[in-house]
Chains A and B, each alone.
Chain A
Amino acid sequence: MKHLILGNGPTGVIAAETLRKADRHAEIMMVGSEPEPPYSRMAIPYLLEGNIDESGTYLRKADGHFESLQIDNRIGVATAVNAADKVVAFADGSTESYDKLLIATGSHPICPPIPGVDLPHVHTCWTLADARAIAARAGAGTRVVQVGAGFIGCIILEALAKRGVDLTVVELGDRMVPRMMTPKAGAMIKHWVESKGVRVVTEARVERIDASSSQTPSLLETVKGLLGHAQADAPSSVMTVTLSTGERIECDLVIVSAGVRPNIGFLDGSGIAVGLGVLTDRHMQSSVADVYAAGDVAEAPDLFSGTPMVSAIQPNAADQARIAALNMAGKSVPHGGVMAINVLDTLGLISSSFGQWEGVTGGDGVEVADPDSHRYISLQFKDDVLVGATSIGLTQHVGVLRGLIQSQVSLGDWKQALMHDPLRAMDAYLASVQKPGVLHDQTHGHAQAVC
C-alpha cells in the first residue's frame, strides 16, 4: 500500500503520522513545495516578534523524526493528478504513483488586483520566505500599511506592533475581523488597538500603490544587506498608498492580508470535484475513490447543515488530517462536521469566536458588553441548543464553548440561565454536556468520530 500526501504543512504531517500509527508497513510519501522542513505557518507571527527562531516554527523538532517513522518527506510541486491511472505529475517532470492520495496543499493568500501590488516592498505574510522579507524591512519606525484586518491580518498586526513599526491598517469592512467578530466585538477590538497606537481605517479600499522614489536601494542599504545586517535597516524607497477615501499614505512597506483561497489549480482536468476547495464527504474522500483531501484545501460538510465549508484554521487541519488518514488506512471513521473556531490576541486583548457566532434565523441570543473593562460575550441559540459564541477577555475554560456547541446538547432550563447570565457557560457545561452518554450519542459530535 502506497500513501502519497501532497503538502507537508500541519495537515500533511499529522496525516502521515496517523497513517504510520494505523499501518506499520505501508509506504508513506509526503511532498511539499517549500524548501524548509515541515513548518507551521501560524508560528510566523512569533518568529516576527523574535520569540522564536525559524526552527521554532518547525512542526516536529526532533532530528530524524520523519526518517524514524519511515515517512519519506520530499520537495516537489504537484502539477497534475491522473486519477484514472493513479499518478501525480510534478513540476520537475517526475511522476509518482499511489494507491491512496491525500490532497493537503493548503491555501494561498489572495492578491487583490490593486495597481502597484507587484512593487518590491509589497508582501503577503504567508510563508517563511515572506516572513524573512518582512523582517528585513520592518524595524522600529518603519511606516507600514497593512491591507486587510481579517483574522490573519490581526494576528500579524500584533507581531508588527511589537517590532515597533508605525502601523496603519486599512479594512474594507466596517470593523476589525468582520468575519469572525460581531459588530460590537469588532468595534471594541478596533478601539483597543487604536488606543495602543495603531491607526485603523475601516470602510476604505486601497485603490493603488505608487512608488514615490527610486526603487534601487541606497548604497548603505546594499552594503548592510551584503554584511547580513539587513534587519531593520532604514528603507530608502517609499511608496504612496491611495485609499478610496482619497487619503494618501506614505509608507516603506505594504503587507497584503486580504484572505486566502485553497490550492486546487493543479487539479484542473483531474475529474476531482471542486468548489472553493476540494469537495469531500464526511470521510474526507473526494468525488474520486482513493483520493482524499483535508485541511485548508478541503471543502467538507459543516456541523450544522452539512453544507460544504472551507475552514482555513489550524485545529481544523489537525482534525481533518486525522480523520482522512484513518479512512485511508481502511478504518471507516466519519468526521463530525466542520465548525469554525478562532482565538485572537490583539495587543493583549484576547477574543474568540465559535460556530455560528452571528446567530441563526429563528434562533435567539444574548449579548453582554462591558467596554470599560474590555469584556464581552455573546451566545447564540437555536431552540435550546448553543450554536455560536463570541467573547472578549474570556480565557478561563473557554474551550467549553466548543464543547457545548459541538455536542449539540439540549440545555433545557440552562438556556434561560445563560440568557440571564451568559458567563455561566462553564456551569451549564458541567451540568449538561457532562452527562453519561452525551458525548457518545451525538451522531454529529466529534467525540463519536474518535470512539
Chain B
Amino acid sequence: MLKSLYIDPEKCTGCLQCEMACSLENTGIFNPSQSRIKVFSFEDAGRKVPYTCTQCDEAWCMQACPVDAIKLDKHTGAKVVEEETCVGCKVCTISCPFGTINYVAETGKVQKCDLCGGDPACAAACPTEAITFVDANWTGLERMRTWAARANEASL
C-alpha cells in the first residue's frame, strides 16, 4: 500500500520543524530556505499552512521534463528528480500548476519533495501531527482536494 503525506493545517503551530528537518535531510544543514516543504503564514488570520508536492498522478513536472530527469519511484509513488540528469532548464517549474517544484540557483538544478525514500523527515519532525504519513488510497486529485479544503479553511 502506497503512503502519502497528509497535512492538517488546523494542527500546525508554525514551529517550522518540518522545514528544518527537510533541509537537514536533503542538504545536510539546517536551512529552511532550502526546504521542500514550506509553511505559509496567513498573518491576518493567524493561520499556518504547510505545503508541498502531493506526488499527483498527473505529474506535470515529469511529463514536461525534456531530458527524462524526473522518475517515478515505484515503491513510494514519489516523482523524484535525478540530479545527474537534470539540466536545470526550469520547464517543470512553470508546468507544475501547484508550484511545488523549484529551481535552486546554487545547484543549477530543480528540487521537489521525494518523500525521503519512504520515511519523510517532515512528518517525523512534526510535533503536533499536522503532517503525517498515511496510507494513500485516494487518487492524487482527491487527495489534493481534501487537503486543499483544509488549507482553504485554515487560510480564511
Contact = CB atoms under 8 A, between A and B. Distances in A.
Interface stretch (A98-106, A169-177, A270-278, A422-430): A422-430
A429 B58 contact: no
B87 A56 contact: yes
B95 A402 contact: yes
Grouping DSSP codes into helix (H, G, I), strand (E, B) and loop, the B interface class, with mixed when no group exceeds half, is mixed
B1 interface: no
Contacts of A318: 63-64, 95
Interface stretch (A23-31, A111-119, A439-447): A439-447
Q: Most chain-A Cβ atoms within 10 A of its Cβ — which of B42, B51, B99?
A: B99
Interface string B131-146: 0000000000100111
Contacts of B49: 430
Contact of B68 (A60, A348, A434, A436): A60
Interface string B101-144: 11101000000000000000000000000000000000001001
B149 interface: yes
A426 B141 contact: no
Q: Most chain-A Cβ atoms within 10 A of its Cβ — which of B57, B89, B155, B156?
A: B89
A437 B156 CA distance: 17
Contact of A314 (B58, B91, B100, B102): B91
B46 to A, nearest CB: 14
A354 B99 CA distance: 13
Contacts of A348: 105
A436 B49 CA distance: 16
Contacts of A402: 94-97
A366 interface: no
Interface residues of B, number: 42
B56 to A, nearest CB: 9
Contacts of A60: 68
B67 A440 contact: no
Contacts of B145: 436-437, 439-440
A403 B94 contact: no
B94 A399 contact: yes
B107 to A, nearest CB: 12
Given A431-B155, A440-B141, A315 B94 contact: yes
A399 B99 contact: yes
A407 interface: yes
A43 B66 contact: yes
B31 interface: no
B151 A51 contact: no
A352 B96 CA distance: 14
Contact of A447 (B58, B88, B89, B156): B58
Contact of B95 (A61, A322, A341, A345): A341
A447 B155 contact: no
B151 A430 contact: yes
Interface string B54-87: 0001101001101110000000000000000101
Interface in A337-385: 341-343, 345, 348, 350, 352, 354
A401 B93 CA distance: 10
A440 B148 CA distance: 12
Q: Most chain-A Cβ atoms within 10 A of its Cβ — which of B40, B67, B148?
A: B67
Interface stretch (A125-133, A191-199, A295-303, A390-398): A390-398
Given A427-B40, A436-B146, A447 B102 contact: no
B11 interface: no
The 3 closest A-B pairs by CB, nearest first: A434-B148, A403-B97, A397-B99
Given A426-B40, A431-B156, 14 more contacts: A40-B67, A56-B85, A59-B67, A59-B68, A343-B90, A354-B94, A400-B97, A400-B99, A403-B98, A429-B99, A434-B151, A436-B149, A439-B141, A447-B141
Interface of B: 38, 40, 42, 49, 51, 57-58, 60, 63-64, 66-68, 85, 87-91, 93-103, 105, 141, 144-149, 151-152, 155-156
12 contacts: A58-B67, A343-B89, A348-B105, A395-B105, A398-B99, A399-B96, A401-B94, A402-B96, A426-B40, A430-B40, A430-B49, A450-B57
